[in-house]
Amino acid sequence: MGHTATPEAESGGLTATEHRLANGLRVVLSEDHLTPVAAVCLWYDVGSRHEVKGRTGLAHLFEHLMFQGSANVKGNGHFELVQAAGGSLNGTTSFERTNYFETMPAHQLELALWLEADRMGSLLSALDLESLDNQRDVVKNERRQRYDNVPYGTAFERLTAMAYPDGHPYHHTPIGSMADLDAASLEDARAFFRTYYAPNNAVLAVVGDIDTEQTLAWVEKYFGTIESHDGKPAPRDGSLPGVIGGQLREVVEEDVPSRALMAAYRLPKDGSREADAADLALTILGGGESSRLHNRLVRRDRSAVAAGFGLLRLAGAPSLGWLDVKTSSGVEVPDIEAAVDEELARFAEEGPTPEEMERAQAQLEREWLDRLATVGGRADELCRYSVLFGSPQLALTAVKRVLEVTADEVREIAAATLRPDNRAVLVYEPTGSAAASGEDFDEDEEGEDQ
């Protein structure tokens, strides 16, 4: 196993070494002896973009199935063993990956590695129709609770379907549809696992109070005998024109607390300098209470109770700029939309002030350093840059790249993309009790699903 190391001068003192097993598993290690804990993070290069029409939701379903037992760990044993050892764990699914992670006391690292290897290598032996049906019902209930039965719950799904045309790999969200979840057979699940849950389709990062040689020995011992799989199809092309070319629009009449204007703007792919510039633009426009849209709509005009603008970074397709405004009682959406467009046009013409650039760069820098400050956050970012961009070293220099972006670049990306002809718009009009009472929307009651 060969390895490369990060030059410390370029990464704020953080280092990472890269290794590869004979079966293709990529391993990234980063020693940090500040606290006696270790984080294990395993990213599989599979998300909803890898699914095919009629079988959506399988990637997310497997996030649940991976906690349902393997050859040597029965039932809920994975959770029980980690928590009994004083650790924490979870898993998540996105368009572009599925990840699993544990943070453990350092002396329990071997247990975490054994658990991850056991389910990678032996889940199929424990996967049966009973466990599939059980977790199928869990996922369907999750969809009801987080999407179908909460105010604005299907907004993300609706806007994504508009922003990415039918047939595009990002047209559907990771939660999948009820019909597709019902249609998934046991053989569908087994084929999905064989294709994507292979060592040569994964990156393992271990960060914290570790000994590199001992950790590598454990990784080789537990993961080294798992066979690779070469049948993974190439991801479908997610490229699209830089702008949508016209405004897409949908009006939703539902029993929601207030009128809302939501929009998705097509922005540059993650991993580019243009994406960093777009992130700064959206931070200045809608990233918190000092942002332009909050100052205009919430503080000055009092036409909204909440106004935010953020970036959903995507590597395999155009990213999305996500606008979300909840109106004050009695305010019409066209008035909000006109004010938003006025602010965006002014920003595209004038660009950010030096003070806004400094504040936005400091905000993104702080957020990024907060991620790297925890062993779990650092392990996750090392995996992300390995899977999506081919090199974990890029994670350790990301702040430097954001700070190099100029005000002119921020203005240019805003002028090129934050336009009415480059967005999908979703308008919520309340019905029922909220409309009849004219209630204001309480920002504290809105949940965000990342």
Measure the CA–CA gap between 314 and 95, rounded to whole angstroms.
8
Nearest CA to 364 out of 287, 423, 444, 440 is that of 287
DSSP line for 55-100: -TTHHHHHHHHTTSB-SSSBTTHHHHHHHHTT-EEEEEE-SS-EEE
248-254 vs 423-430, strand pairing mode: parallel
Q: Give CA separation, 118 vs 42, 112, 318, in Å.
A: 13, 10, 36
Q: Which amino acid is at 69?
A: G
Q: Which amino acid is at 167?
A: G
Give how far the C-alpha of residue 249 lies from the chain's centroid of Cα atoms, to the nearest Å. Answer: 25
Alpha-carbon torsion 229, 234, 236, 239, what sign? positive
Asked about 342 being catalytic, the answer comes back as: no
User: What ranges in 236-373 are assigned the alpha helix state H?
Assistant: 273-286, 292-293, 333-350, 354-373
Burial of 274 by CB count in 10 Å (0-12 exposed, 13-18 middle, 19+ buried)?
buried
Catalytic annotation, pick one of 8, 18, 31, 63:
63
Q: Tokens at residue 13, please? A: 């003192």
What phi and psi values does residue 102 have, to the nearest 5 degrees?
-135, 145
If you count them, how many residues does the chain have? 450
Helix 58-65 to helix 129-143 angle (10° resolution) is 120
Measure the CA–CA gap between 125 and 102, rounded to whole angstroms.
23
304-312 vs 98-105, strand pairing mode: unpaired
Angle at alpha carbon of residue 282, lines to 281 and 283, rounded to 5°: 90
Please identify every residue annotated as catalytic.
Answer: 63
